[in-house]
Structure 1
């Protein structure tokens, strides 16, 4: 079976780190040396949109569907 793509892992880890940072910033702790709440909100929103936009297949069925789609697209060319 296919492995989870590196892009999926990077986007998922990035969005979770950004959300964690956002929560810590909202509670008055600054894990990153950023003083502005707007900047941390933009970072979180950026990672969330990036992760939402891309296809993040984790389950075996989703990975199989990705392979099927890849093969179907090869046949169209």
Structure 2
């Protein structure tokens, strides 16, 4: 793990947290144990909406940061290939 930069580790951890959270929600086991009698339909909807937004944002950030999607990133990839540091 010495070779990984801090940003990569943080993005990876957040991505796994988001995916685990979505998996638990799909199976009806939300991370926050909320009793149905204690929560209104609106609060439950907000929880699911924020959870989905968190997953989408985390996934997009992890994808964008770890792939060569910008012009600068494409140039970096080309240089890495030229130097034999990339496939």
Find the structure with the greater CA-based Rg: 2
Q: Quick check: TM above 0.5? A: yes
**Smaller-chain TM-score range?**
0.5 to 0.7
Report the equivalent of 2:56: 45
Q: 3-state SS of the aligned residue for 1:7?
A: helix
The two structures have a TM-score, normalised by structure 2, of: 0.56
Count of residues in Structure 1 that have an aligned counterpart in Structure 2: 59
Runs of 4+ in structure 1 over 4 Å off: none
Q: CA deviation at 1:32?
A: 3.6
5+ unaligned residues in a row in structure 2: which ranges? Answer: 34-42, 68-75, 81-87
Superposed CA RMSD: 2.7
The two structures have a TM-score, normalised by structure 1, of: 0.62
